[in-house]
Amino acid sequence: VDYEENISKANQSLNGQFNDHISSTTSKPYFLEFMNNEVSKGKSLQKLFDKIEADFSEVIAFGDSLNDSDMLEKAAIGVAMGNANDAIKELADVVTDDHDNNGIVTALEKLLKS
């Protein structure tokens, strides 16, 4: 936990890799997080889907931070919340309203009507 500027600089210098086994990311602009390379939201969902015989082609995923990246990339439709950082908005298929303004409901209403 640090000032946003310091976290941003540290994360850029690490470029997502702390070492061969540890990756780095942010969930909020003032959090720098480290985790085993085998752990992510996308990988966790894949393990669940393997057990319940589901597939990412059936998934709409919502995210707002860099730690949501692989989940949004793997989903059939990746939705960035309005309060998401710019990198997530660029990665997503759809950008919706922020979490304080029912962004998930807004996106689901639009996506499920089409």
45 in the same domain as 94: yes
Segments forming the whole domain that contains residue 113 = 41-114
Q: Which residues of the chain have a pLDDT value below 50?
A: none
Q: Does residue 31 sit in the same domain as residue 71?
A: no
CATH of the domain at 76: 3.40.50.1000
Whether residue 112 sits in one domain with residue 82: yes
- Shared domain for 16 and 45, answered yes or no, is no
pTM score, whole prediction: 0.82
Same domain, 32 and 46: no
In order of 6, 23, 68, 90, the CA distances from 14 in angstroms are: 12, 9, 18, 21
Burial (CB < 10 A; 0-12, 13-18, 19+), residue 49, is middle
Structure tokens at 53: 């015989």
Q: What is the pLDDT of residue 114?
A: 67
Buried b (16+ CB within 10 A) or exposed e, 18-40: eeeeebbbbeebeebeeeeeeeb
- Do 20 and 2 lie in a common domain? yes
Residues 48 and 96 in one domain: yes
